[in-house]
Amino acid sequence: MIAVDTNVLVYAHRREVAEHRVAQECLRTLAEGREPWAIPWPCVYEFFSVTTNRRIWHNTASTPQQAWAQLDAWFASPSIRLLAEAPGFTSVLADFMCRPRVRGAVVHDARIAAICVSHGVDALFSRDRDFSLFPELDVRNPFA
């Protein structure tokens, strides 16, 4: 199962970013495919927060209705799985959180990585290099 990180979701939604076409095609392929794919719940919240943030997008920030409509479109995929903390999550999270460079914003990435690992995710599509701190999770950059 492939999971998708926030940055790929944001790029797929925001037409003005250079990565839009690649991200949109990536999400379309997953959503229309037969294989299960996933979005971790923390990425859902972060997507909504980022795309509606006027400090980032100024006058072009998505409205809450636009952001939710995009999420609804992805949620409509018959092969999607929304991932939350699962049995075994806390032991994986404890290992990830106690690593030397896991501080500040990386704590959020540790949570996403632990959710993915505890669900047996095959790979996470992301451009975020902080996930390299968790080699237990195969991270693939769809823009490379």
Sign of the torsion formed by the C-alpha atoms of 55, 71, 79 and 25: negative
pTM above 0.85, yes or no: yes
Question: How many angstroms separate the CA atoms of 49 and 9, rounded?
Answer: 12
Task: Classify burial at 16, counting beta carbons within 10 Å of its beta carbon; exposed 0-12, middle 13-18, buried 19 or more.
Answer: exposed
Q: State the amino acid at position 116 in one-letter form.
A: C
Q: Which residues of the chain have pLDDT under 50?
A: none
Q: Where are the domains of the chain?
A: 2-140
pLDDT value of residue 122 = 97
pLDDT value of residue 88 = 87
Helix or strand run (H / E) with residue 50: helix 41-51
Q: Enter the CATH code of domain 2-140.
A: 3.40.50.1010
The mean pLDDT of the chain is 96
Q: What are the pLDDT digits (tens) for 53-94? A: 999 999 899 999 999 999 999 999 999 999 999 988 999 999
Name the residue among 38, 13, 34 with its Cα closest to residue 23: 13
Token digits of residue 58:
């100024």
